[in-house]
Amino acid sequence: MTDLIRAEGLTKTYGSKTVLDRVDLRVPAGSIVGFVGANGAGKTTTIRALLGLMPLDAGRVVLFGEPFDISADAATCQRIKGRIGAVLDTCPFVPDLSVKTVGSLMKAAYPTWRADLFEEHLRRFELDPRKKIKEFSRGMGMKLQLACALAHEPDVLLLDEATAGLDPLARDEVLDILRAFVSDENHAVLLSSHITTDLEKIADVIVGIDQGRIVFSLEKDVITDEMGIARCRSAELENLVSSGLYDQNSLRVLRRPYGIDVLVPDRFTLARRFPEIPCDKATIEDYLQFVLTGEQA
Ligand code: ATP
């Protein structure tokens, strides 16, 4: 699959702090990539780097096969940015503007702007065109950004916490829109989110970042269909480790007050070999927690 977006070795330092450390990331055509990590892990900085919004210390961004950075000329910027719809974690529009005025400004900025699509999304999201941005809740601001991102018919959506602040019905509506968007195999989405249940519903690949470093990149189904959390007592953990069923380095454990949780790569194998050990399906949140705070068995 062609990568519509690629980050190669992105490195960014603020003062003495390295906030991006050789970040590699791919967003292939036809896919939704979920981007997860704790607060301050580097998700927003990565997305801003992909959009060419800041200078990098090292590495490069390749958008639609073409290297792109903050020094790109106006024509390149317009051509490439025209193919990207972005939702940033903070609403970028001037608070005193009305929704209608935002639409007019977007029309001037994007030759491919479709006023009919914008109006359709405003209706879908129940946003009043006469309202001013400052009257909007965070969720309404997110919906407006999404309506703008979609209305210039991009090939890629870069979404930073786009479902944060939305009520569950609105979140499901946005997920439906994203599914429809990638049903065109020339489209792709990168979506950062703390709401990992949203990613469980729509993402193909999950990429985790911690302290500016990519710590995993896995197909979502590998996490949610194959992995398991075995609820062990000490003796069961010892049996599991000594059985040789798994390479010891592949088992991560979290010690809880009530026992030991063990992340296993294949819950079906565990169930066959150790039917007495209860084992739940892993979630993206479980996996992230084990990677970030688990120990080796
Ligand atoms: P969250 O989930 O809280 O939104 P995040 O994963 O998006 O977090 P970033 O916003 O990318 O994290 O921040 C990564 C790190 O970079 C943080 O430690 C943050 O303090 C730092 N950082 C970001 N922008 C700047 C800046 N302009 N100057 C200094 N430090 C910055």
Q: What is the 3-state secondary structure (H, E, C) of 144-202?
A: HHHHHHHHCCCCEEEEECCCCCCCHHHHHHHHHHHHHHHCCCCCEEEEECCCHHHHHHH
Residues 54 and 14: their CA atoms lie apart, in Å, by 12
Residues 47 and 35: their CA atoms lie apart, in Å, by 10
User: Largest Cα–Cα distance in the chain?
Assistant: 68
The per-residue pLDDT for 71 is 87
**Tens-binned pLDDT, residue by residue, of the chain (297 aa):** 799 999 999 999 999 999 999 999 999 999 999 999 999 999 999 999 999 999 999 999 999 999 998 888 888 888 998 999 999 988 888 999 999 999 999 999 898 999 999 999 999 999 999 999 999 988 899 999 999 999 999 999 999 999 888 999 989 999 999 999 999 999 999 999 999 999 999 999 999 999 999 999 999 999 999 999 999 999 999 999 999 888 877 889 999 998 999 999 999 999 999 999 999 999 999 999 999 999 988
> Are 156 and 85 within 8 A, CB to CB?
yes
Cα of 41 to ligand 1 centre, how many Å?
7
Nearest ligand 1 atom to alpha carbon 54: 27
Q: Is the CB of 208 under 6 A from ligand 1?
A: no
The per-residue pLDDT for 150 is 95
Residue nearest to atom 11 of ligand 1 (CA): 42
Distance of CA 189 to the CA centre of its chain: 8
Residue type, 188: A
Nearest ligand 1 atom to alpha carbon 41: 6
Which of 14, 25, 194, 285 should be mutated for ligand 1, with most atoms under 8 A from CB?
14
- Can you give the pTM of this predicted structure? 0.94
The per-residue pLDDT for 1 is 72
Residues 125 and 147: their CA atoms lie apart, in Å, by 8
**Where is 105: in which H helix or E strand?**
helix 99-109
Which of 11, 45, 90, 138 should be mutated for ligand 1, with most atoms under 8 A from CB?
45
Residues 28 and 2: their CA atoms lie apart, in Å, by 5
- What six digits make up the tokens of 17? 């702090």
Length of the chain: 297
> Are 5 and 25 within 8 A, CB to CB?
yes
Residue nearest to atom 26 of ligand 1 (CA): 14
Residues 259 and 229: their CA atoms lie apart, in Å, by 12
Residues 153 and 151: their CA atoms lie apart, in Å, by 5
For the chain, domain boundaries: 3-220, 227-296
189 forms beta bridges with: 32, 157
Cα of 138 to ligand 1 centre, how many Å?
20
Which residue bears the tokens 């193919």?
A: 83
Dihedral, CA atoms, 207, 221, 250, 291, nearest 10 degrees?
40
Of 142, 122, 72, 129, which Cα lies nearest the Cα of 98? Answer: 129
Cα of 157 to ligand 1 centre, how many Å?
21
Q: Is the CB of 41 under 6 A from ligand 1?
A: yes
CATH topology for 3-220 is Rossmann fold (3.40.50)
